[in-house]
Chain A
Amino acid sequence: MSRPADWTPLAAADPVPGDPVEVARVGRRLQQVADQISADVSWLRSLCTSRFWDSGAGREFHGQVDDAAARLARTHDRYLAAALALGSGLSGAGYAGALDRAQSLSLRALTQAQRAWSAMRAQLATAAAANEGCPPYAGTPSLTRLPAQPRLDSSGNPVPLVAPAGADPRLSDAVARYNASALEYRAANGRLADAIALRDEAAARATALIQAAIAADGLQDRTGLWHDITATVSGDTRRHDRKQCG
């Protein structure tokens, strides 16, 4: 499903990007790899029986195969963890489902915000017209060069208008309507924050699941400064030894 390109006024860009359908497809692919590895390990272990090959050479062979099966078995858990973390469908417990729900929520927030924003702009213009061309915000007069744009606070929520005591009924009415739409916009902003939090929590859970599997299987490549230094020193030593022997 394609996402809207224009996220104004809520955000400058898609605040919940990603493709849940593709996430689920990759999740299913990883599950297939995990299942296949599991079948391969069982098959390799089935070779380590005396019914298959019973002789001195056979027993040597069993040792080799058993070792390969054990090594292959360790890879299974990381693929399974990644598959479960991503999920294989949009209705499951994995990240794909959470991302889909977060995106749906963000779309509802956008629709609600755009509707509220449009109403706020119209009511702001009416209120400004009824207030000698100046939007009736509390405190200092607005310095904005775009009086038709509602003013937002640092949290992205609309600043309410204030009708002075004894104001013209047309101004009071516009201010009341503006503030009602501003509340609607605030609700949309809150809904978007919920969507982002849902996505962030699901991504953190999935990341932790994958990282735990990586940390547990002992297969990960060693990286980092100390590894680079020791690898370089050991490479230099080997080259030095070869020179001395040759």
Chain B
Amino acid sequence: MDGRLMADLGRIWQVSGRLSWVEREVSDASTGTGGDGAFLGSGELAAALQSCVNGWRSQREALLAQLSSVARLSALAASSYEKTDAQLAAVLEKAMGLP
């Protein structure tokens, strides 16, 4: 740490909410693409679309885990900053003899 400390706590709090929305978007991306693909009228194209939307399960799970981890970290960080700031304020108030 180089001595600087600046954090937009409001935005850090927003991160977990927004990321859970991103997670949902990525998870839901496979839905709404039309079941078995009969509407396409081409088996080859249906297989390609199915592969495109559902064929990255392993990487999708890794991405979702990463997003979840970032969301958890940001919530933890925001909460820790607030707690530390409150503790510091209390210590300073006490040291300065404020009521």
Contact = CB atoms under 8 A, between A and B. Distances in A.
Interface of A: 16-19, 22-23, 26, 29-30, 33, 36-37, 40, 43-44, 47, 50-58, 61, 64-65, 67-68, 71-72, 75, 78-79, 81-82, 86, 95, 99, 199-200, 203-204, 206-207, 210-211, 213-214, 219-222
Interface of B is mostly: helix
Interface in B29-71: 29, 32-34, 38-42, 44-45, 48-49, 51-53, 55-60, 62-63, 66-67, 69-70
Nearest to A206: B45
B8 A52 contact: yes
Given A29-B33, A54-B6, A75 B26 contact: yes
Contacts of B51: 210-211, 214, 220
Given A53-B8, A214-B52, A64 B44 contact: no
B3 to A, nearest CB: 9
8 smallest beta-carbon distances between A and B, as pairs = A18-B41, A56-B1, A203-B42, A22-B39, A219-B56, A19-B39, A54-B6, A219-B59
B66 A43 contact: no
Interface residues of B, number: 45
Given A26-B34, A79-B29, 16 more contacts: A17-B41, A18-B41, A23-B40, A37-B25, A37-B26, A40-B25, A43-B18, A47-B15, A55-B6, A68-B63, A71-B62, A72-B67, A75-B26, A75-B63, A210-B49, A219-B60
Contact of B4 (A18, A55, A207): A55
Contacts of A22: 34, 39
